[in-house]
């Protein structure tokens, strides 16, 4: 009688291993299904491609083509385009009808107003609190504490105007840019 009872409770090690593997696998899939999206929520998205920057966009969201843009703008023109992070950024046309190698972020460093260009005064003048910026974005008159942020402005191989982050020192102050 005792022999029959011990055969009845025989434990199959391979079956136990398989069941443990299935349980751990099901738990890992469940935790991964909830955990991976949770972790990815805290990873910031990339902005454009790594090497070429992001294309400048007009008010309608269309890419700006350099040739057509330069043909339609006068010398020393400063017009707004959508730049890095979607911020308004000035494209500057030089005397020789080419683009300046930098774009100026149009957001005032005092309280975040969009700073318009005043051609009559030859400077950027904030309508909110009277800050004024030189044509290169340096502060002329406060209360703005810092110059306008810079972005590289280049023409891509496909003819589009491209913005990329300015990581070098600020040529107006000689120091590291505050926006980096």
Is the CB of residue 111 less than 8 Å from the CB of residue 146?
Answer: no
Most confident of 24-28, 154-158, 165-169: 24-28
Q: How confident is the model at residue 9 (pLDDT cuts 50, 70, 90)?
A: low
Q: Is the pLDDT of residue 48 over 60?
A: no
Strands (E), 86-160: 88-92, 102-105, 117-118, 123-125, 132-133, 139-141, 150-155
In DSSP terms, 132 is beta-bridged to: 125, 141
Residue 177: pLDDT band with limits 50, 70, 90: confident
Nearest Cα to 146, choosing from 168, 160, 161, 126? 126
Instruction: Using the predicted structure, report yes or no on whether residue 50 has a pLDDT greater than 80.
Output: no
Question: What pLDDT score was predicted for residue 49?
Answer: 47
Rounded mean pLDDT of 73-87?
A: 87
Q: pTM for this structure?
A: 0.68
């Amino acid at each position: 009688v005792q022999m029959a009872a011990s055969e009845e409770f025989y434990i199959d090690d391979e079956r136990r291993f398989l069941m443990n593997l299935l349980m751990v696998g099901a738990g890992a899939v469940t935790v991964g299904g909830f955990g991976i999206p949770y972790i990815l929520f805290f990873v910031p998205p990339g902005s454009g491609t790594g090497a070429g920057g992001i294309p400048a966009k007009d008010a309608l969201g269309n890419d700006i083509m350099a040739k057509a843009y330069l043909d339609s703008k006068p010398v020393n023109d400063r017009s707004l385009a959508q730049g890095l992070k979607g911020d308004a950024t000035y494209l500057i046309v030089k005397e020789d009808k080419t683009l300046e190698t930098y774009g100026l972020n149009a957001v005032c460093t005092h309280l975040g107003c969009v700073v318009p260009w005043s051609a009559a005064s030859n400077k950027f003048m904030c309508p909110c609190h009277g800050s004024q910026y030189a044509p290169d974005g340096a502060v002329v008159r406060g209360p703005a504490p810092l110059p306008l942020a810079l972005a590289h402005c280049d023409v891509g191989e496909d003819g589009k105007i491209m913005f990329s982050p300015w990581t070098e020192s600020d040529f107006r102050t000689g120091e590291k840019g505050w926006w980096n």
